[in-house]
Every structure is written in C-alpha cells, then in structure tokens.
Structure 1
C-alpha cells in the first residue's frame, strides 16, 4: 500500500497577511473555507461552488489555501483531511476570519 504523503504547511509565525488575503480573494477558495468553519472535512467531500470542478482545479485551490496557512491538508487513511487553522489565524490576525465571513457579499 502506498502511503499518502505529508505536505508542507507554514508555521504560525510564517503566515503572512498578504498571502491570506490573496488566498481568500477567490470565491471558490472562500467557499472551501466557509465549509471548514463548521469543522474538518475529507477533501473528497469538500466542494467548491461548482461540484463539477475538475480535480486539478480543486487541488490547486487547496494548495493555495494550504501554502497561505489557512488550512491543514493531512493524510487521513487513504484520503486527505482538511482543517481550518482557525487558532493560528486568530492568533496572527485577530478578528480577520470573522470579519471576512460575516461580511455581506453582494450577489454576482
């Protein structure tokens, strides 16, 4: 059996505001984070706004969020588990996540 590889995640003190804001500027990435506000999800069950989105696009969304320090993407059996790094984000940028996700977004 092939092990699911570990991925690199920035340490709490390496999370940069500009990277977080860039990652959250995309509506599909914000939707992933919105889903994770309720708790961890298996990557296979976490859908962006378009469930027919190609796997490669979905993987890129997760990579941007992970590299920005917003989510953890860790092995979970043969799958991957996504977790919002809420404590790290709240420590670095108090109130940011609440401000972003309680703000009213205008309709498209």
Structure 2
C-alpha cells in the first residue's frame, strides 16, 4: 500500500474508535453545567417557541423516555438538532444515546438550583396570559 493510505484493518479500527457507547458513529452530546449558564443564555433558550414546546413535553414525561424524534414540533431533523444543542448549552437538557436513539432528560433539579422558579414561571406562562 502507498504511504498514508490506510489498510482495510486500519480504516476499520478508526471507524470503531469513532463509535460511541451506543454503537453509532455520531459524537456524544456535549452538556453544559447549569452553574456555568448566564441568566441571559437561559432566557434566550427559553424564548424560542419550538424550544419551549420541547421543554414542556419533557416536563410532562418520565426521564429518559423521549427520543428526539418523538416530539410534536413543526421543524425538520436538522433544526430539531440545533434546538436541542441550544437547550444543552443552556443547561436545560441532558441527552444520551441508547442504541440508534438519542433520549432526553430535562435537568429540572439542576436548573432550578441555578435559577429558582424560572422554569416554573416559563412553563406556566400560558396560564397567566
């Protein structure tokens, strides 16, 4: 083989090294500790109607039961991925891979410790209007 060209086994080993514990080739999600989130970042994440709907649906679901594709939101897969990235960056959502699915958990306790009452206020916003 010419220099710099991986052999079949080297390519396979690289591919296996890139797999996550869930068995997929995608990178594991990066999570932000709510303690490292500013109030402006949190408010910005919660201001978007799609992200707010995701949070509402997660708040009403048992933890680790909702896969990314199970949400009733009017956006495509790429946009949904972006919205989850923003929510992870704001410390609101934790995700993990379970086989081919990425499941979600609302980080309610951690977020409430950082911003007491904010999530309750936002989730009740429709009741007040």
What is the TM-score of this pair, normalised by structure 1? 0.85
For the residue of structure 2 that corresponds to 1:82, the secondary structure is strand
User: Equivalent residues in 2 for 1:9-28 (5 A)?
Assistant: 9-28=31-50
> Greater helix percent: which structure?
2
Q: What are the ranges of 5 or more consecutive residues in structure 1 without an aligned counterpart?
A: none
Matches of 1:104 and 1:13, distance apart in 2 = 27
User: Equivalent residues in 2 for 1:15-54 (5 A)?
Assistant: 15-39=37-61, 40=63, 41-48=66-73, 50=74, 53-54=75-76
Query: RCO (CA 8 Å, sep 6+): is it higher in 1 or 2?
Result: 1
Q: What are the ranges of 5 or more consecutive residues in structure 2 without an aligned counterpart?
A: 1-15
Q: Any idea what the Cα deviations from partners look like across 1:2-60, whole Å, max 9, x if unmatched?
A: 53432111123212211110011110110000000013311111232x2xx22111111
Look up the match of 1:93. Answer: 115
CA RMSD for the aligned pairs? 1.7
The yes-or-no answer on 1:60 pairing with 2:82 is: yes
Matches of 2:81 and 2:102, distance apart in 1 = 11
Task: Return the index of the structure with the highest Cα Rg.
Answer: 2
For the residue of structure 1 that corresponds to 2:126, the secondary structure is coil
